[in-house]
């Protein structure tokens, strides 16, 4: 009996101990596992001192350009009269930028900055305000020259550079008055060159500079600069549905146009006095033309330069697809020995290379034969 009682007691103790072990294990399994945290300490590699020296040098360039050029940048306020819903005159104010080009007070800006203005006021960097008058405008290149009458010692002209030797990737700086924030500096690069920029009128400005320097409303008419502080373009437009895409009229166009705006009040665009069709392989096949590129002369302006030089226009209309084309005229293949792919090539060549009163040699095909005719360029009429 005693031996049986000892066995029962031993068995109870053993079961209790085993139960405790099982309970502990079950509890541990129910606890959430705690992940092991591994801390990695990244030690950045320090830049060499030379890198800081280069960055510092570029910053010094920016500072130097701004200190030298910002006094030449002006804030332009234009006031125009519009009609409200009841057809009552209502003044409306617009702002833009411009830059001084000489000690006589001539300022270059965009045409659209002062278009239709009843009055124009210019604010200089030192706070001086002065009324301005329009000297000349060129809507086709979106350029204008205005003039203020102030003491010459208050005027700080800019230096005009060149746009013919620019390179994509080159630094570009813009100074202007975006949203009325006077003389704001933004920095970027030249993103592309030789862009055609189509205006609302349908006219195309050629060789436009594309930049990613921040341009906003109010920057129009301000200078785009190189690292030497020379003007390389006039900021004129942005791509509304994109970021960091802005356009500037090249300074070579400015240097060609502005002297005539000051001298004549307008820029005299060279003109042949003809309307033509760009030849494509499809058009050549449909009309049986001897070439697949060039310009088919359609119509001539009576007493225009081409008419006087003996160029022949079309003599009968035919339907090609959905278009009516005047056929039978001369085919222009080259100008001054430069091959012309289409009508756009012809207009671009005249705009870039020629002036009113100069002559061009047109290589033409007439009745299957090649000829060269010389034409003295006239002035494109404004309609």
Per-residue 3-state assignment (H helix, E strand, C coil) for the chain = CHHHHHHHHHHHHHHHHHHHHHHHHHHHHHCCCCCCCCCCCCCCCCCCHHHHHHHHHHHHHHHHHHHHHHHHEEEEEEEEEEECCCCCEEEEEEEEEEEECCCCCEEEECHHHHCCCCEEEEECCCCCEEEEEEEEEEHHHCEEEEEECCCHHHCCCCEECCCCCCCCCCEEEEEECHHHCCCEEEEEEEEEEEEEEECCCCCEEEEEEEECCCCCCCCCCCEEECCCCEEEEEEEEECCCCCCCEEEEEHHHHHHHHHHHHHHCECCCEECCEEEEECCHHHHHHHCCCCCCCEEEEEECCCCHHHHHCCCCCCEEEEECCEEEEECCCEEEEECCEECCCHHHHHHHHHHHCCCCCEEEEEEEECCEEEEEEEECEECCCC
Q: Is 112 a catalytic residue?
A: yes
> 62: number of CA atoms within 13 Å, CB side?
17
Residue 70 is among the residues annotated as catalytic for this protein: no
Tokens coding 294: 């060039």
Check 138, 142, 182, 330 and give the catalytic one.
Answer: 142
> Among 220, 226, 252, 269, which one carries the catalytic annotation?
220
Contact between 109 and 257 under an 8 Å Cβ cutoff? The reply is no
* Residue located via tokens 């359609």: 298
Question: Is 269 a catalytic site residue?
Answer: no
Catalytic residue among 78, 112, 138, 345: 112
**How deeply is 331 buried, as exposed, middle or buried, from its count of CB atoms within 10 A (0-12, 13-18, 19+)?**
buried
- Do 288 and 327 contact (CB within 8 A), yes or no? no
Q: Which residues are catalytic?
A: 112, 142, 220
């Amino acid at each position: 009996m005693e031996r049986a009682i000892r066995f029962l007691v031993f068995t109870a103790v053993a079961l209790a101990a085993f139960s405790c072990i099982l309970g502990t294990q079950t509890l541990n399994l129910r606890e959430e596992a705690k992940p092991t945290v591994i801390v990695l300490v990244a030690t950045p590699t320090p830049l060499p001192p030379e890198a800081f020296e280069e960055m510092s040098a570029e910053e010094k360039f920016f500072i130097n350009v701004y200190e030298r050029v910002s006094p030449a940048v002006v804030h332009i306020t234009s006031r125009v009269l519009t009609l409200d819903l009841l057809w009552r005159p209502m003044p409306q104010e617009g702002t833009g930028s411009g830059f001084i080009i000489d000690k006589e007070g001539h300022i270059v800006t965009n045409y659209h900055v002062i278009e239709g203005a009843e009055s124009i006021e210019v604010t200089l960097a030192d706070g001086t305000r002065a009324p301005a008058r329009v000297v000349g405008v060129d809507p086709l290149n979106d350029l204008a020259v205005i003039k203020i009458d102030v003491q010459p010692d208050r005027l700080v002209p800019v230096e005009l550079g060149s746009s013919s030797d620019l390179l994509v990737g080159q630094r570009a700086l813009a100074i202007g008055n975006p949203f009325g924030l006077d003389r704001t500096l933004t920095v970027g690069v030249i993103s592309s060159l030789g862009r055609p920029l189509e205006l609302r009128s349908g006219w195309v400005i050629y060789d436009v500079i594309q930049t990613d320097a921040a341009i906003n409303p109010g920057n129009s008419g301000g200078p785009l600069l190189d690292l030497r502080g020379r003007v390389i373009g006039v900021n004129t437009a942005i791509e509304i549905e994109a970021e960091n895409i802005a356009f500037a009229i090249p300074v070579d166009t400015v240097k060609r146009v502005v002297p005539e705006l000051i001298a004549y009040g307008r820029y005299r665009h060279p003109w042949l006095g003809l309307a033509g069709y760009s030849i494509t392989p499809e058009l050549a096949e449909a009309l049986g033309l001897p070439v697949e590129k060039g310009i088919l002369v359609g119509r001539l302006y009576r007493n225009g330069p081409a008419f006087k030089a003996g160029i022949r226009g079309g003599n009968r209309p035919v339907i090609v697809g959905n278009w009516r084309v005047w056929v039978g005229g001369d085919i222009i293949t080259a100008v001054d020995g430069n091959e012309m792919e289409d009508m756009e090539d012809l207009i671009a060549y005249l705009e870039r290379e020629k002036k009113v009163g100069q002559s061009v040699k047109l290589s033409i095909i007439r009745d299957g034969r090649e000829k060269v005719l010389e034409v003295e360029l006239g002035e494109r009429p404004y309609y």
